[in-house]
Amino acid sequence: MSVLIAPSLLSADFLNLGNDIEMINTSEADWFHLDVMDGLFVPNISFGFPIIEKVKSLAQKPLDVHLMIIDPDRYIDRFRKTGADMISVHYESCTHLHRTVYAIRSSGAKAGVVLNPHSPVHLLTDIIPDIDFVLLMSVNPGFGGQRFIEQTIHKVNQLKEMILSINAQVLIEVDGGVDLENAPRLRHAGTDILVAGNTIFASTDPKETIRRLKKC
């Protein structure tokens, strides 16, 4: 399987969001990545249900909704109804992670678990068989444009070994500071999905940048 590319709308031009959505629709990108922040779990606030509904009305590709919020269980059904095809929650924010994952899958969405940079992959040992993907943060969550944390490469290797050891069908997604230099290394380590924001939207040719990421 070729690597999946999920442009992060957090880095899009919100005064011209429709144009950026259409660019992604007509590019080689696979998913839209949407970061939902509550100002509590992370020190920033982003978009919520009204924006996601508008994106869904224009998007021709699946919505990958990353919940950087406390108590995500309260909103899973609503995010699904709003248009989320994939919903990921942070290990660090869930008191009863299996319950949360089952709620996501019961809603009809694919379920992902996110690890912050300081969280080791062995924390996922008991949840791996029950999820569809793991999202490894390669920056501290909350803001776009941060510098890639190199230790992420090692974490991808570790996670890939864990997944293969139990023959699980779980994809590995990486988000934060992904660019044309580290994308091939992430892919070689076992990454299946690359989230890229600044690298794509600050490019003079976003479609070409997506194409090059896709070919890494």
The length of the chain is 216
Single out the catalytic residue among 20, 30, 35, 38: 35
Does residue 35 carry a catalytic annotation? yes
Single out the catalytic residue among 20, 38, 64, 175: 175
CA atoms of 191 and 213, how far apart (whole Å): 12
CA atoms of 177 and 161, how far apart (whole Å): 23
Beta carbons of 29 and 61 less than 8 angstroms apart: yes
Let me know if 179 is exposed, middle or buried by CB neighbors in 10 A (0-12, 13-18, 19+).
Answer: middle
Does residue 64 carry a catalytic annotation? no
The residue type found at 162 is M
3: DSSP letter? P
Catalytic residues: 35, 175
